[in-house]
Amino acid sequence: MSNVYPLLPRLTVNSAFIGEFLAAPAPCCALGLVEERKRTCGFLALRTNEIIPPTVTGSGFNFGHSLLGTSRYLVVHFAFEFYGFGRYHVLVKPNNPIVRTVLTAMVEGDAPFFFAINANGSATAFGGEQGGCGSDAMAALRGNLPRILRSEATDAQYQEALAQFRANPLPPGTLLNWVCRDNVEHLDLSSDQLTLSPAATDW
């Protein structure tokens, strides 16, 4: 894991995606696309049941990535650790069209974003163009992307991986529900836009 620090530029996201994400039961995580300065970037967004204090988000967070599974399948694992507060995990299927599109954008754009949305609706953005893509986790994702793009996991295999991880999360933390994973129209930033200004703190 390595440090990721906050940045709040003007951002454009798909409004319908945000609506569905905010309506999903927390704690949860979703993948999507965001436009920053006319540049399309991939992002991971998480919503917690807790309010993460600004003093915590202001210190950034550790981001981790790995591949989990067996000789029959693999799933993609991401971890978010907020210093002295909590750790969160999400598992996603490598053959999901949204996952493949977003992870490719994160790697090829070299400017991934991360959003943390609190239980009170306040949001913090991390990364982006000025944040770079130099973390160990992003380097691992870059190296693993070819394997991810040619891998598959059935729904049953994904549920098996979830059950195994839930029984023994390593490192310990909260497993987030993966949401907003079926509607590829949520990746469209040409219409139904929602613009977040640098001063915006609520979604």
**199 falls within a domain:** no
**189 falls within a domain:** no
Confidence at 126, pLDDT banded by 50, 70, 90: confident
Identify the helix (H) or strand (E) that includes residue 166.
helix 155-167
* Exposed / middle / buried, residue 34 (Cβ in 10 Å: 0-12, 13-18, 19+): buried
Confidence at 151, pLDDT banded by 50, 70, 90: very high
**26 falls within a domain:** yes
What single string gives the DSSP state of each residue in 46-114? EE-SSPPPHHHHTT-EEEEEEEEE-SS-EEEEEEEEETTTEEEEEEE-TT-HHHHHHHHHHHHHS--EE
**143 falls within a domain:** yes
Please give the model's pTM, rounded to 2 decimal places: 0.89
Residue 201 pLDDT > 50, yes or no?
Answer: no
Tell me how long the chain is: 203
pLDDT tens column, 155-192: 999 999 999 999 999 889 999 999 999 999 999 999 89
Q: Which of 41, 99, 36, 45 is nearest to 67 (CA)?
A: 99
**6 falls within a domain:** yes
In terms of residue numbers, what domain contains 150? Answer: 2-181
DSSP 37: T
**72 falls within a domain:** yes
Domains identified in the chain, total number? 1
Residue 4 pLDDT > 50, yes or no?
Answer: no
pLDDT, mean over the chain = 87
Mean pLDDT over 37-50 rounds to: 92
**192 falls within a domain:** no
Percentage of residues of the chain with pLDDT beyond 90 = 64
| Phi–psi pair at 185, nearest 5 degrees | -65, -20
**175 falls within a domain:** yes
Percentage of residues of the chain with pLDDT beyond 70 = 89
| 140 vs 38, residue with greater confidence | 140
Mean pLDDT over 84-90 rounds to: 94
